Structure formats: C-alpha cells, structure tokens
Chains A and B, each alone.
Chain A
Amino acid sequence: MKNYEAILRSVEKPTRYMGQEINSVSKDLNDVAIRYLFAFPDLYEVGMSHLGMHILYGLLNQIEDVYCERVFAVAEDMEQRIKAGDTDFVSLETRSRLKEFDFIGFTLQYELSFTNVLHMLDMGGIALRSTDRSEEDPIIMGGGPVCFNPEPMADFFDLFVIGEAEESIVQLMDIYRTARSKEDFLIRAMTVPGVYVPKFYRDIWEGERLIGYEPLHSDAPYPIVKAFIKDLTTAYYPDRMIIPYMDVVHDRGVIEIFRGCTKGCRFCQAGMIYRPVRERSREQIVDLVDNMVEHGGYREFSLTSLSTLDHSEIEPIVDQLAEKYTEKNVSISLPSLRMDSFSTSVLQKVASVRKSGITFAPEAGTQRLRDVINKNVTDADIDNTMREMFDLGWSRIKFYFILGLPTETFEDVQGIEQIAKRVEKIFYEKKRPQKALQLTISTSSLVPKPFTPFQWVEQTSPDIIRIRQDYLRNHLRGRNIRYQYHDIDTTTLEGVLARGSRRTGDVIERAYRMGAKFDSWKEYFDYKLWLQALTDAGQSLEMYLKARQEDEFFPWEIIDPGVTRTFLWREYQQALAAETSIDCRDGCLGCGINTTRIGGICFER
C-alpha cells in the first residue's frame, strides 16, 4: 500500500477521489450505528450531477446514527493502481473499503451502467451474485428509474426500492437497527413500500416465454407497488448540495419544482412512472433557491422537473427569482422548454444574465408522427416560437428528435430536414444583429421502455436507423446547420437491457467477465463483447427487440407502477391511429394512478 496522497498526485483529475467538498458530511465513526455507501456506477463528474444522490445523502445524514458516504466508478488510471495493490477501492468520506459498510446503495439511472455495478462490486472484493454473498457482506441495494424493470439485475441485488425512496429508505434504516440477521432484515424489509427482494421470487417460464412469478415467502408482496411521496411540500429536500471542486457535468444548484408530468408523451417512461404530478409551492421554491444559492455560491441554478413551464405558478416564481438574482449575476436555467409564446415570454425574463443556447424537443418531423407520440406541437408553434426567439436575440438553437418511432416513414424523416430548413429561412428573413444562426439537429433512436404505451413495439432495426441517419447527415449540411446522432449499437444494447428478464443477468455477467464496462462511454463500449455474451448465453438480439403480443406477460410486471396496462394499451392503439390525448390537467384519462393510489383527483385547476 502506498500513501494515498502520492496515489492522488499520480492520477488524472484527483479531485474525483478527494472528497472533503463544501457541504459534504463528516461524522465520527464511533457515533455511527449504520454505515451506508451511496454508489454511483459512473465517474464522479457524472454522478455528482445527479439530484437523487444529493437528496438521499442529505436525508440519510440527517439521521444521527446513520452515516452515508459516497463512492463512484474510478477511471482506468486509478483502477490500475488499485489492481496493482498500491491502494484500495474506497469511499470518498472516510476512505473505507466497500466491505466495511452495512449497505451499498447503487442508483441505476441508465441501463448502460449495469456492467459498472458489477465492476465496482468486483473491485470492492464483493461477490457479484447475491447467492454467493455471506452474512458479513454489505446489503446491496438498488434504486432509480431503471429499477422499474429490475429483472436484468435481480440476481446481483439483495433488495430494490422501486419508485421514490425518500420515505422507504428511512424505514429500512429503522428495521436494520433491530434486525437479528440479514435474512431477518430482508424479510421485514418487505413490509416497506416499494421494496422488492428478488430472492423471494421465482420466475416461471414456458419454454422461451415468461408466464409469471411465484413468491417464495409468505410475506413477499406480489406485485410490488411502487413507493411514492404523496405530498412533495412536506418531503425532505436538501437546503444545500455538496459543491464539487471539479468541473462536473451540470455545475449548478438544482431545485426540483415538481414531480410527475401531465403531458402524456407516449415514448416517455418518466412521464408514466412518476405519476401523479405533485408540485412544490411557490414560497417553498423561492426559499429553497435562496438557501441553495446562499450556501452554494453558484453562478447558475436550475428549476428542474419533467416539464418546468407547466408548474401552475411558474410565471410569478420566475418573476420573483429573476428580479432578485439578475443583479447578483446569477442566472436561472429552465430545462424542458415548450414551443409556445409563453415559453418565449418566460425565457425573456431569465435570459438577462447569460444568453446561452436554447434546446427544444419537437421529437418528430411531421404533424402525423407528433400525433402518434402525443407531442402536441404544431408546425406553426415551431415557426412562431423560432421567430420570437430570433427577434429576442437568440441564435444558438438545438432541436431533439427521435428516430425509429412507431409508424415512422421516410416522409417523417424528411420532415426533420424541412423543419431545419424552415428555421434557417426564418432566421434570414430579415437582417438581425446576431451574427449567424447556429442550429443543431440531434437525433436519438427510440428504445421502447417498460410501462409506456410503446412497451409492445418492435425496436426499429439498426439497418433502418442507419439509413435514416445517413439521409439526415447528407441533407443537414451547410454553414448554419449541424447534425448529431446517437450511436446505433449502444441504442440496440439499451433496448436489450431495458426490456430484459431475469435471464438477461447471465448476459450482463458474461459481458462483464469479457471486459465490458463504461458502456455509455464511446471510448470503452465494445459491441462485439455483448454479441458474444448473447450467443454464449444461448440468446439473441431478436428475442429482446421484437414486437410483443397484446396479452404477453412482461418481466417488469412484477412491479405495479400505478398506471394500468389497460390504459397503456389504449394509448398504444390511439397512437397507431394517430389520435392525440389531452393533457391530464385538462381532464382525467383514467391511467389508474388516481383511483388505485391516491383515491381522488390528481390535479385541480
């Protein structure tokens, strides 16, 4: 073992491993009964931008005898030092090894981080499969949106918390204090909302077809109902976040202004699984911003949610904050903008400090296809919004589109090109003080996600996506327009892992053993390893990417997200007919969340 300072001097960006940031928590281990390690399966600079980590870290550390520390995946240079035995893989706060913790809680934000979970367990000297671990090993927990289909990772975890974990995790700590053994803890944990202990369930197959699950313990709930916070105004929210020294991906204060979304875009998993919509009050939001900026010293803060301008009081909130923070040179960032004149008027208020680039997501190139996905934006909305933005002085615009949407034809792809050319024309229809238009068109490709109306659809084949990307690459050229697109192979793999079953765990472990890790990083991703792992496991891409039958049982249906299968199917059928649905603020669509979970109306005008 070498001195840790000497190790840190020898690696790139040592602030990744340093800890001791402002607002990080230090506790005396002698006063601590439960040691929890929050693990993010990616590099520090990615993980520190994740809001959920800041919430759970603050929440757990509020409990006197619980100490929550952090660990992130390490970069290759550090990994080599660990493998050479020069140092250990340790937590940021107390530099403790993974085995010294009672819990290791991984957050699963994207499927391509699965191998990094195995990589981190391995580096910590912990067996990958729960069945190979002993009483002495930490309890390996998982949470985050990807856990709405926990099955691909079920064999590696002792316990998942499905849904919003703020209340459940505190209850789990209470149970752990009095638990007699790991087994006793896991059994009692199943009384807590959203808790899923995979080893107490067996998956039942008829050949290649999953037909259901069998609970193996009398206390095992089936299905597992997601946990959610009923009232966001009384839920815990940190009044300060850890302030990284390092330049992280999103370096700003983040205030979550509401949860859930009423728009009902049919491709969007977050819009389905985080129902119902729940707002924080205006007073609370303003207080949180004041606290966060005062303790953080940020030059920017973000009012975040799935659709920020839909907060019922967004205008007075922005007015109040803009007035206060413009003179302090602190800028307000609003993600997820809509394309309407309300957006431009709000944007105008927040842009007095820094006029950066603006992003919009029309998602599809033609009106027909936008109706299919229930993205209620018209060509006129796009044109008018752009004209207003340009008149107000903006010139850097980015548009997001999705390729491979159900029913998509070549005309829809050409529609993307036509939008780009129209926007260019609008910019140059008169002389403007801005130098030149910088328009970026970015496409991703649809990965059909569990618990969305598109959970039944076939994932569009890589060959078709490639042709469509090539078309756009060849036609979106010129001085003012730039085209970006997502890598096809990583999208295909995401599709495999998103709709996988418990049998997918075998593929993930095989890929990891062959060297797969950091799959979301272009420089590490090796598609061949995954294809090999699928073959070795006796599986195929086709099994995962194919269209599903109406009555087919899905691996993720061990979970109940509150939204019913009937609703999702109905939305899917309407999509195929290119019929839109209304925003739930304008009337209830009967998705199930209000009748089954909250016993009443989600939202009152």
Chain B
Amino acid sequence: MNVRLRYEKLGLMQFLSHLEVMKTWEQLFRRENIPMLYSEGFNPKPKMNFALPLAVGIQAVNDYLEIEVEDGFDTDRFLVMEMPPGLRVTGAKPVEGKPLMAVVASADFKITGDLMPFAEGLEREQLLFQKHTKKGERTRDAKPMIIEYQLTSDELWVHLKAGSVSNLKPTDLLIAMLDDPDKVYDYDIVRVDVYDETGRSLWLR
C-alpha cells in the first residue's frame, strides 16, 4: 500500500539537506514501528519517495512524501507519531498512480526580509542569474519561469515553475534581483505548496 503524507517542515528543519531529511524520516518510521516495505538486494532500503526536494535554508508548510507500507495499515497512525521539533504530519492517505515526482509542475513561496530591492526588480524584462552546470557557469533568465507574483508591504509571494521540465529555485530568483548574492541568506523562505500541471495541490490529486 502506498501512503502519501503531507507535512510541515519549519524552523530548524530548514537546515536539513535532502539526504538528512530522508534519513530522519526513515529513522522516525522505524522508531514508530511503521511496517515499511523494503527494496530487495544486499542493502535493503525502505520504498519512499519525495515530491520535490527542498534546498537547505527553505521551510515548507505543505511538503509531500510517499511511503510503501504493509496492506491494511491504519494511516491515522502517521498522525500521532512523536516528531522532531519543526516536523509535523498534517495528512496521510492511501494513494495509487504515478510517483509524485513525475507530476510536479509548480510551487509557490512566501519570502520575508528586506523587500526593497524587489519592487523594481520584478518589473525588469529579464532577471539573469548564474547557474553552475556540468558545462560550467551559464547565464539563465528567471523571468519566464515566474508564473505569478504578489508583492505586499510585508511579504513577497511567488509562484514558480518546478519539476523536471522547468525549475526555478526561489533563491536564484532573489539573487537575480540582489546587488550582493550573499544577501540571499538573510531572507526567510517558506514553500507554501506544490502543484501538478493543472494547478491542483498535490494533496488533492
């Protein structure tokens, strides 16, 4: 049985890398005696996959993972686990179909901090940033990957393309507008939700 979990990853949890997040969940499930199913082979691993790995330094209100467990397991058990501070399960349900990773198309973010540079920045024709690739440094334009945005006096909300086809990291968008790329670390960034190609939250899919 494949179970989709929706969870918050707030506060200090932002500092975990994706590998650390995976390890944390695996240990958590073991402590809670969740009957996970394992891969075959010399080094069996739980069958677990994530919608869209978060970069270090970004929090999430609605993040998703799917885990295979023994058939008939009561999914409400996921809601009463003892969690590390900052991590909280907000939903669990059995699902079928394609892995989450394959259906991700966009994600939206709330950004707080010094918003001054953005009023002008977001108006620009192009928002160029440098991307490290296997072929070296390459210049990319963030602008076409912004789906929507809204700038208020206390936060910037952005809806960005995400997933395997086209993906814009919120930090790259900010760097394109900041005079000093190191200032990006001063911003609190929270991912609000992740959506499929029809704009539907992954939870509702």
Give chain A's interface residues, CB within 8 Å of chain B: 2-3, 5-10, 13-15, 18, 20-22, 243, 245-247, 251, 293-299, 328-330, 353-356
B20: chain A residues within 8 A (beta carbon): 15, 245-247
Question: In the bound complex, do residue A14 and residue B56 qualify as a contact, i.e. CB atoms below 8 Å apart?
Answer: yes
A71 to B52, CA, bound (A): 33
Q: Name the contact of B84 in the complex, choosing from A22, A294, A330 (C-beta under 8 A).
A: A22
Question: In the bound complex, do residue B85 and residue A20 qualify as a contact, i.e. CB atoms below 8 Å apart?
Answer: yes
Question: In the bound complex, do residue A8 and residue B44 qualify as a contact, i.e. CB atoms below 8 Å apart?
Answer: no
Question: In the bound complex, do residue B15 and residue A8 qualify as a contact, i.e. CB atoms below 8 Å apart?
Answer: yes
Nearest A residue (CB) for B55:
A9
B28 part of interface (Cβ distance < 8 Å): yes
Question: In the bound complex, do residue A15 and residue B16 qualify as a contact, i.e. CB atoms below 8 Å apart?
Answer: yes
B8 part of interface (Cβ distance < 8 Å): no
A and B contact pairs by CB, cutoff 8 A, 7 listed:
A10-B182, A18-B12, A243-B27, A245-B20, A297-B31, A329-B38, A329-B44
A3 to B32, CA, bound (A): 35
A247 to B26, CA, bound (A): 13
CB distance from A169 to the nearest CB of B (A): 29
A298 to B23, CA, bound (A): 10
Q: Name the contact of B27 in the complex, choosing from A2, A18, A298 (C-beta under 8 A).
A: A298
- B71-108 interface code vs A (CB 8 A; 1 in, 0 out): 00000000000001100000000000000000000000
A356 to B23, CA, bound (A): 19
CB neighbors of A among B20-43 (8 A):
20, 23-24, 26-32, 38, 42-43
Question: In the bound complex, do residue B42 and residue A354 qualify as a contact, i.e. CB atoms below 8 Å apart?
Answer: yes
Give chain B's interface residues, CB within 8 Å of chain A: 12, 14-17, 19-20, 23-24, 26-32, 38, 42-44, 56-57, 84-85, 182, 185-186, 188
Known contacts A10-B185, A295-B31, A297-B28; A245/B44 CB under 8 A: no
B56: chain A residues within 8 A (beta carbon): 9, 14
Among B27, B84, B85, the one with the most A-chain Cβ atoms within 10 Å of its Cβ is B27
Q: Name the contact of A245 in the complex, choosing from B24, B31, B32, B182 (C-beta under 8 A).
A: B24
A6 to B23, CA, bound (A): 24
Question: In the bound complex, do residue A294 and residue B43 qualify as a contact, i.e. CB atoms below 8 Å apart?
Answer: no
Which 5 pairs between the two chains have the least Cβ-Cβ distance?
Answer: A297-B27, A297-B30, A297-B31, A9-B57, A14-B15
A355: chain B residues within 8 A (beta carbon): 42
A497 to B30, CA, bound (A): 44
Nearest A residue (CB) for B43:
A354
Nearest B residue (CB) for A351:
B42
A356: chain B residues within 8 A (beta carbon): 42-43
15 additional contacts (CB under 8 A) given A294-B31, A297-B28: A2-B186, A5-B14, A5-B188, A6-B186, A15-B20, A20-B84, A20-B85, A22-B27, A246-B20, A247-B20, A296-B27, A297-B32, A299-B26, A354-B44, A356-B43
CB distance from B73 to the nearest CB of A (A): 16
B31: chain A residues within 8 A (beta carbon): 294-297
CB distance from A301 to the nearest CB of B (A): 12
A6: chain B residues within 8 A (beta carbon): 185-186
B26: chain A residues within 8 A (beta carbon): 297, 299
Nearest A residue (CB) for B23:
A247
CB distance from A253 to the nearest CB of B (A): 11
Nearest A residue (CB) for B84:
A22
CB distance from B160 to the nearest CB of A (A): 19
Among A3, A245, A293, the one with the most B-chain Cβ atoms within 10 Å of its Cβ is A245
B24: chain A residues within 8 A (beta carbon): 245
A5: chain B residues within 8 A (beta carbon): 14, 188
A295: chain B residues within 8 A (beta carbon): 31
A14: chain B residues within 8 A (beta carbon): 15, 56-57
Known contacts A14-B15, A18-B12, A18-B15; A299/B186 CB under 8 A: no
Question: In the bound complex, do residue A247 and residue B19 qualify as a contact, i.e. CB atoms below 8 Å apart?
Answer: yes
B186: chain A residues within 8 A (beta carbon): 2-3, 6
CB distance from A296 to the nearest CB of B (A): 7
A10 to B27, CA, bound (A): 27
Among A6, A247, A330, A353, the one with the most B-chain Cβ atoms within 10 Å of its Cβ is A6
Nearest A residue (CB) for B113:
A6
CB distance from A533 to the nearest CB of B (A): 36
A22: chain B residues within 8 A (beta carbon): 27, 84
A221 to B58, CA, bound (A): 57
B12: chain A residues within 8 A (beta carbon): 18, 20
Nearest A residue (CB) for B20:
A245
CB distance from B59 to the nearest CB of A (A): 10
Nearest A residue (CB) for B19:
A247
B14: chain A residues within 8 A (beta carbon): 5, 9
A512 to B107, CA, bound (A): 50
A356 to B26, CA, bound (A): 20
CB distance from B100 to the nearest CB of A (A): 23
A536 to B28, CA, bound (A): 54
Nearest B residue (CB) for A10:
B185
A21: chain B residues within 8 A (beta carbon): 84
B43: chain A residues within 8 A (beta carbon): 354, 356
Question: In the bound complex, do residue A15 and residue B27 qualify as a contact, i.e. CB atoms below 8 Å apart?
Answer: no
A294: chain B residues within 8 A (beta carbon): 31
B16: chain A residues within 8 A (beta carbon): 15, 245
CB distance from A582 to the nearest CB of B (A): 40
A293: chain B residues within 8 A (beta carbon): 30
Nearest A residue (CB) for B56:
A14
CB distance from A254 to the nearest CB of B (A): 15
Question: In the bound complex, do residue A297 and residue B42 qualify as a contact, i.e. CB atoms below 8 Å apart?
Answer: no
CB distance from B104 to the nearest CB of A (A): 24
CB distance from A324 to the nearest CB of B (A): 13
CB distance from A298 to the nearest CB of B (A): 7
A3 to B112, CA, bound (A): 14
A356 to B43, CA, bound (A): 8
Nearest A residue (CB) for B182:
A10
A296: chain B residues within 8 A (beta carbon): 27, 31
A298: chain B residues within 8 A (beta carbon): 27, 30
B44: chain A residues within 8 A (beta carbon): 329, 353-354
A8: chain B residues within 8 A (beta carbon): 15, 57
A356 to B44, CA, bound (A): 12
CB distance from B68 to the nearest CB of A (A): 13
CB distance from A329 to the nearest CB of B (A): 6
A356 to B42, CA, bound (A): 8
A447 to B43, CA, bound (A): 37
A251 to B27, CA, bound (A): 11
A173 to B193, CA, bound (A): 51
A298 to B43, CA, bound (A): 14
CB distance from B57 to the nearest CB of A (A): 4
Nearest B residue (CB) for A393:
B42
A3: chain B residues within 8 A (beta carbon): 186
B57: chain A residues within 8 A (beta carbon): 8-9, 14
Nearest B residue (CB) for A243:
B27
A10 to B84, CA, bound (A): 23
CB distance from A498 to the nearest CB of B (A): 36
A326 to B86, CA, bound (A): 32
A251: chain B residues within 8 A (beta carbon): 23
CB distance from A251 to the nearest CB of B (A): 8
Q: Name the contact of B185 in the complex, choosing from A9, A13, A354 (C-beta under 8 A).
A: A9
Known contacts A9-B57, A296-B31, A354-B43; A15/B182 CB under 8 A: no
A15: chain B residues within 8 A (beta carbon): 15-17, 20
